[in-house]
A and B are shown apart, each in its own frame.
Chain A
Amino acid sequence: NAGVIQTPRHKVTGKGQEATLWCEPISGHSAVFWYRQTIVQGLEFLTYFRNQAPIDDSGMPKERFSAQMPNQSHSTLKIQSTQPQDSAVYLCASSLDAGGGYEQYFGPGTRLTVL
């Protein structure tokens, strides 16, 4: 089991460019979560999917962030017109069904730097 896979591990973009982050959850896990981590804000929830359906995107900045899960093996987080304040580590996590609470397995993260 390779664990949650995130690519790329590092991404540098210029202000105003687009960034697409990829996540491959653990096989068999039905829930996929995206978080943003910064020193100041800690771990901020962005959005999550269950059985590929979007369930809660209450943490997503509305205008420039979007997430999709086109199949059970990957999810993407897209940031349009990136801004310096978007610089952070973006973490993807997956989990089995929530019957006993979501025990999350995190990927290594993508460190996004917006210049």
Chain B
Amino acid sequence: GDSVTQTEGLVTLTEGLPVMLNCTYQSTYSPFLFWYVQHLNEAPKLLLKSFTDNKRPEHQGFHATLHKSSSSFHLQKSSAQLSDSALYYCALSENNNAPRFGAGTKLSVKP
């Protein structure tokens, strides 16, 4: 079956440093991968979605590349901002099945 594994727990960074949150997956089919961001007391919101044509999606300075060879869709940003502090979920959607989410990674950016 399909599954998603993320960097576990809490990632703490200093403002201005690069961000990388890991996401790997197992899938029988060719899935779509997503990153969602959830700020405190808010609903999860779509941040990025993988493309099928090797394009690299970008949004709000974040980007992620789907690597089928390594089954990964890591989230990256060159310079963390205080406002990036949030809970980040990687999700997988395949074959018309409901998306499954990883355990979530809490990112805390400090001044």
Interface residues of A (CB under 8 A from B): 4, 33, 35, 42-43, 45, 48, 50, 55-56, 91, 98, 100-109
A101 touches B34 (CB 8 A): yes
Secondary structure class of chain B's binding surface, majority of residues? loop
A85 to B104 Cα, complex, angstroms:
21
Known A43-B104, A103-B46, A107-B43; 9 more pairs at CB < 8 Å: A42-B101, A43-B89, A45-B99, A98-B96, A100-B32, A101-B94, A102-B99, A104-B36, A104-B99
Give the shortest distance, in Å, between B4 (CB) and chain A (any CB). Answer: 10
Q: Which residues of A contact B13 (CB under 8 A)?
A: none
Task: Give the 4 A-B residue pairs with the shortest CB-CB distance, closest first.
Answer: A101-B32, A106-B43, A101-B93, A43-B101
Interface residues of B (CB under 8 A from A): 31-32, 34, 36, 42-46, 49-50, 89, 91, 93-94, 96-104
Secondary structure class of chain A's binding surface, majority of residues? strand
A101 to B50 Cα, complex, angstroms:
9
Give the shortest distance, in Å, between A69 (CB) and chain B (any CB). Answer: 14
